[in-house]
Amino acid sequence: MRILVTRPKDDAEETATKLRAQGHTVLVAPLIEIRFVDGPDIVLDGIQAVLATSSNGVHALARRTHRRDLPLFAVGDQTARAARDAGFSSVRSADGDASTLADATVNWAKPSGGALLHAAGAETKGALAESLRSAGFEVRTEILYDAVGASEISVDTLTALNAGNLDVVILFSPRSARIFSHCVVKAGAGDKCAALIALCISPATSAALAALPFQAVHVAKRPDQEALLALLE
């Protein structure tokens, strides 16, 4: 199949490698650029565990501290793998979303054990921290990266859409779906989506595509890459 991957560059290349190994043709066209926030080392004194809601948060934190000994609670398996690859020695996966991570953290940690540090992006809405604070935890949020959305689709993507050279678009977040929808409509190519199948990581991601006339929209059974790519089968 001819597949459009819209993830940030490093993540997109990892996904593209998997897809090409399966025999697919892949066009990588990131809709979001990750920009890490520079600064001094993050002070982790008094922190009992790190909360990571994305692999970008893990990568950003790893740039700002040499410590890998603290427990790290990851939102899902992909983020957990990123943490292990970065050298964190004690990693747990909530295998879900931010709400699932909040529930798991209540079982994995105690308010009396010290503060929690959320390695967050600039777009973080704060629901995770708010939920845990209501459960009695002290939560420290560190904004360690920004995810900057594209203002238009790439020339290669527009050319492929207009030529009918794409079969599938894979979308990993509601935000990327909103950006895709906006940029495609802005480029005057919304009707070209009628020939495409959209694979979405969550129902919220699917809902963000409502303005586009896809041939079909499918949602992964779990909010992770493995379940999302399984939809290709």
pLDDT tens figures, 95-154: 888 899 999 999 999 999 999 999 999 988 789 999 999 999 999 999 999 999 999 999
Q: For residue 180, which phi and psi values (nearest 5 degrees)?
A: -60, -50
Q: For residue 125, which phi and psi values (nearest 5 degrees)?
A: -90, -15
pLDDT for residue 85: 95
Residue 189 has pLDDT above 90, yes or no: yes
For range 37-64, the mean pLDDT: 95
The fraction of the chain above a pLDDT of 90, given in percent, is 88
For residue 188, the cross-strand partners are: none
pLDDT for residue 59: 95
Domain segments of the chain as ranges? 2-31+150-230, 36-147
For range 214-224, the mean pLDDT: 92
Distance, CA of 67 to CA of 49 (rounded, Å): 12
pLDDT for residue 31: 94
Q: Evaluate whether 2-31+150-230 and 36-147 have a shared fold.
A: yes
**CATH code for the structural domain at 36-147:** 3.40.50.10090
Q: Which residues 6+ apart lie within 8 Å of 110 measured at CB?
A: none
**CATH code for the structural domain at 2-31+150-230:** 3.40.50.10090
Q: Which residues 6+ apart lie within 8 Å of 86 measured at CB?
A: 58, 59, 62, 68
Q: How big, in percent rounded to 5, are the helix, strand and coil portions of the chain? A: 40, 25, 35
DSSP state for residue 100 in the 8-state scheme: H
Residue 36 has pLDDT above 90, yes or no: yes
Distance, CA of 202 to CA of 165 (rounded, Å): 25
User: Angle formed by the axes of helices 77-85 and 55-64, to 10°?
Assistant: 20
Extended beta strands in the chain, E state: 2-5, 25-28, 32-36, 47-52, 72-74, 91-93, 115-121, 139-149, 168-171, 197-200, 216-219
Tokens of 48: 């009992």
Where do runs of H (alpha helix) occur along 54-126? 55-64, 77-85, 98-108
Distance, CA of 211 to CA of 106 (rounded, Å): 38
CB 213 within 8 A of CB 191: yes
